[in-house]
A and B are shown apart, each in its own frame.
Chain A
């Protein structure tokens, strides 16, 4: 994300999910050039880890060459806790349904910005790619 013009704004929200033996990497550059006064960027990358054999990497590069800019970056990691799973299952969900539910909650912030058809499709894809990851 390269800010060249004045008063430009950008937001990056990345949600990474790693399950099984997979590794997931976010690598992102935010650069504000001299002259891009008033530039604002907010970037956020959240990782969700399912299981203890997977990995998450977050490598943000934040480079600013103007004082009149505001750049913020936040990253968090989360996992699906046993308590969350138990609650869902106690209420009648299978563990796969529970994972899908929790994962969809995790992705909601980005998926809800998609047009309806894509969002539904994306949700299904997330569900399929996580099949068999728990249990």
Chain B
């Protein structure tokens, strides 16, 4: 029998009464729904299909408490390393920090703190949060909603196209006295025909135990175009869980990329719902883990409307005693005819102690569909290494080149050149560091 383990709910009722918007029935319902679901499921365990491979051991074992105020706000903003952005929204321990942020001045683009939107009971925000979530498979997302408090709300008006990326930097602090967990929350609303490049970066101190439970809800208008790039480069001792959700109406397009390089246990989950005909999504990613890190990338794509297309390519490198996980589910609803859903996962194991677990899943209820998935895992090709050596390249350089090329292929799929370069640079820095170790 599995004992349901639900830490982090001490004095919940008293705390909830103090959270912003506590007088608004819709907001208290959101929180109560989160708390109820978290209570009934508890921390993830392998019996939950979506969490078969990843356990949040630190959350199970250590006495975590909610991250407090801005005890020691970092003075430098550790983002994705983009030279030019239209805006940079900084969250520290889940709380919006305007002093560290660079806010937009463009017409049709607005940024506000989630706290202020909850206090004002803003309709768009309330409607965008937690749409049709299966909390039975997502207990951490339920926990985040139970403590719905602050974060950022980004709105782009109908027809507005934001040329430069907007970056959201969610930074965490580590409290040496007691491990803390933060709940950064982002709400994005894109108007009809609006265009946006959104970069989310998650980071924290290199050393020190902390946890992050982040949720991003995105609502798109018809024909909107979103590029959504996520960089997870948390500290070595971090527990990171982040969830992104995006609904695509008619003719909307989504291009996503998930790069995960940090954390002790890290999981990013992205759910796309193709609810309008002719919507298209590409979701790619790369990850690298070493030491005894666990790196989990989970995607779910629901093809609800006909004539929708999704494409996914993920690649990972596992070194040391690390474990990599890719779970990708493509669900084709009845009547979602003439859809295309492809997914591919390639993993390289660099060490005898590393492990990779892969579960590409198809659930199809329509007959006129083209769905495929592929998965490979193995080592660096000795033949390729020899080919490089035979041209004079030494074996260390040859292996480094091949690793860079392996991940590099995914960065070429990022259509925003500045982000592609920045992400490639982050991955190469990871490889260099591994090389030196």
Contacts and interface: CB of A to CB of B under 8 A. Distances in A.
Contacts of B368: 52, 79
Contacts of B360: 60, 73, 75
A73 B356 contact: no
Given A52-B334, A55-B364, A77-B362, A66 B373 contact: no
Contacts of A74: 372-374
A50 B368 CA distance: 9
A69 B357 contact: no
Interface of B: 52, 334-335, 337, 347-379
A69 B377 contact: yes
Contact of B354 (A62, A67, A71, A79): A67
A72 B334 CA distance: 29
A104 interface: no
Interface in A51-80: 51-77, 79
Interface of A: 34, 47, 49-77, 79
A51 B367 contact: yes
Given A34-B353, A52-B334, A62 B364 contact: no
Specify the main secondary structure of chain B where it touches its partner: strand
Contacts, number: 113
A61 B374 contact: no
Specify the main secondary structure of chain A where it touches its partner: strand
Contact of A64 (B367, B369, B377): B377
B367 A49 contact: yes
B367 A67 contact: no
Contact of A62 (B357, B371, B372): B357
Contact of B349 (A66, A72, A73, A77): A66
B373 A75 contact: yes
Nearest to A27: B361
Closest 6 CB pairs of A and B: A67-B349, A49-B367, A67-B379, A58-B362, A79-B367, A62-B358
B376 A71 contact: yes
Given A51-B367, A62-B359, A72 B372 contact: no
Contact of A66 (B52, B347, B352, B364): B352
Contacts of B375: 60, 62, 71-73
8 contacts: A52-B335, A58-B363, A61-B357, A66-B349, A71-B375, A72-B374, A74-B373, A75-B362
